[in-house]
Amino acid sequence: MTMKERYEQLYKYMAESKDPENMKLFGQVMGELMDRAIRNDASFAEKEIDKLEAMMWQQYLSRSEAEHIVGNMSPSAPWGFGTWKSAMQQAGLPTMEEGLYNEYALWTEMNKVMSDHGETYRRYGISPDLQLVRDLALDDLKDQDGVYDIREYFDV
């Protein structure tokens, strides 16, 4: 049996086990592997943590995914991350909702709202403020039908 096959067998055993000690042991070993990855290849470790972090959110983008998406919007997105975050803090608007969406998903979605609909707002003389754009972005991120998926929409 190869090492990969042994790992897969152990993972399956742990995942199907009813014993929390098996999960703790697996997590401890994976933590040691992650420590080594962080020391030896931080960019690889960051990508793997991003994959795991996605399970905590209904709507999730990593920082690098969001920067790539926002950087390629046409028409261009109005806010860089730092500018957006600062404006949101000054306006007292939350940038994430635990379990529902993280700040990179909201930042990307708000930029999408402005990129996709900014010209229409201007045509009708509407100057949308942060609260309005945030509310429109949340219409998608908190979609009542559960149909909208930011990762699927942007193909990440």
Q: What pLDDT does 3 receive?
A: 92
Q: What pLDDT does 70 receive?
A: 98
Q: Are residues 24 and 92 in the same domain?
A: no
Q: Are residues 78 and 140 in the same domain?
A: yes
Q: Are residues 120 and 75 in the same domain?
A: yes
The total number of structural domains in the chain stands at: 2
Q: Are residues 96 and 25 in the same domain?
A: no
**Is residue 57 included in any domain, yes or no?**
no
**Is residue 83 included in any domain, yes or no?**
yes
Expressed as residue numbers, the domain containing 118 is: 63-153
Alpha-helical segments (H) within the chain = 3-16, 20-40, 42-53, 63-71, 81-90, 103-123, 130-141, 150-153
pLDDT cut 70: percent of the chain above it: 100
Q: What pLDDT does 127 receive?
A: 87
Inter-residue contact 139 to 101 (CB < 8 Å) = no
pLDDT digits (tens, 9 = 90+) for 3-37: 999 999 999 999 999 899 999 999 999 999 999 99
pTM of this structure = 0.80
Inter-residue contact 57 to 101 (CB < 8 Å) = yes
Q: Are residues 108 and 32 in the same domain?
A: no
Q: Distance between CA atoms of 93 and 125, rounded to whole angstroms?
A: 24
Q: What pLDDT does 91 receive?
A: 96
Q: Are residues 19 and 84 in the same domain?
A: no
Q: Are residues 14 and 90 in the same domain?
A: no
pLDDT digits (tens, 9 = 90+) for 57-76: 999 999 999 999 999 999 99
pLDDT digits (tens, 9 = 90+) for 120-147: 999 999 988 999 999 999 999 999 888 9
Inter-residue contact 30 to 23 (CB < 8 Å) = no
**Is residue 54 included in any domain, yes or no?**
no
Q: Are residues 147 and 100 in the same domain?
A: yes
Q: Are residues 28 and 76 in the same domain?
A: no
**Is residue 148 included in any domain, yes or no?**
yes
Q: Are residues 20 and 75 in the same domain?
A: no
pLDDT digits (tens, 9 = 90+) for 93-111: 999 999 999 999 999 999 9
